[in-house]
Amino acid sequence: MASAVLAELIAAMRGGGIDFSGDPLKARADLETLLATMPADEALTYVEIELGGVPTLAINSGPDHAGALLYLHGGAYVAGSPQGYRGLVAEVGKAAGLPAYAPHYRLAPEHAFPAAVEDAVAAYRALLVRGIPASRIVIAGDSAGGGLTLATLVKLRAEGTALPAAGYLLSPWADLACTVATMQSKAADDPSLDHTSLLAMAALYLAGQDADHPLASPAHADLAGLPPLLVQVGSAEILLGDALLVADRAGHAGTHVQLEVWPEMIHVWQSFHFLLPEGRAALDGAGAFLRARLGVSA
């Protein structure tokens, strides 16, 4: 059974959330206001740098020599920022024992697909140029950032670039056509996302391009030859089907994939690690997975 605080959290979310079905710039501003209320570890430093021409937030969440976490934030490709997500990024970095780098990848509608993929790839390559071995890098992301993580891995593989040690997908949005059955079957359970809003944001990001393009909807890509993947999703999410599809496709392609479906959990519940025991537990488990891929003991 989920913790008692989950019910309180869901009630608060149902009381008023971000409207992604209307003006995307308003949704962007509203999400940033909400994210500003999320705590971040004040013992760490948060510094703006540049990676491959992409503005990036660097966080000293692990030793400099340890490698790097490249984290791609959520926000339906139209909203969100590294600054807003810095608390979650820092916790993933700490769990993995890695310094974290969160690029300000370009957002729609100002910058349509594949701008976000191009920026993520550029930031990753810049980490390699800095002398960080691919075997010491992991890529992670939540929601749209989870789909972007997978798309980035597919793009890197296609270009013959050395792949990172692992990928970590938190409640990934990986089918921009929004065709999975859970868009409807889990609609009443999900307090934060809805089918109509996701379709609207997908249209802004795609700008008339094919939703089935493998770098836009990587759930439909060839997932062979990718590094080990950890996929975490809640059972109370309309994106449950996206995660299941990713795991199915990766498994059939012979890629190591660990799928975790957490009962009763909501979209990116890990971001509530500071009050939700299941959020902390999921991050701890992810840290163990990533450290194992890096060859680091707990």
Strand partners, 125: none
Check 61, 91, 104, 237 and give the catalytic one.
Answer: 237
Interhelix angle for 115-129 vs 144-159, to 10°? Answer: 60
Percent helix, strand, coil in the chain, to 5, is 40, 15, 45
Active-site residue flag, 143: yes
Give the number of residues written for the chain.
298
Residue whose structure tokens are 């802004």? 204
Check 81, 104, 118, 143 and give the catalytic one.
Answer: 143
Strand partners, 68: 137
Active-site residue flag, 260: no
Cβ atoms 104, 65 nearer than 8 A: no
Per-residue DSSP letter, 162:
P
Check 73, 104, 220, 267 and give the catalytic one.
Answer: 267
CA distance 288 to 92: 11
Which residues, including other chains, have CB under 8 Å from residue 72's CB and lie 6 or more apart?
102, 103, 105, 116, 120, 139, 140, 141, 145, 146, 148, 149, 152
- Return the SS3 of 236: coil
Residue 250 one-letter amino acid: A
Cβ atoms 113, 106 nearer than 8 A: no
Active-site residue flag, 65: no
Tokens of 288: 């163990």
Cβ atoms 217, 211 nearer than 8 A: yes
What pairing do the DSSP bridges indicate for beta strands 166-170 and 100-103? unpaired
Which residues, including other chains, have CB under 8 Å from residue 290's CB and lie 6 or more apart?
95, 96, 98, 138, 165, 166, 168, 230
Residues annotated as catalytic (active site), given as ranges: 143, 237, 267
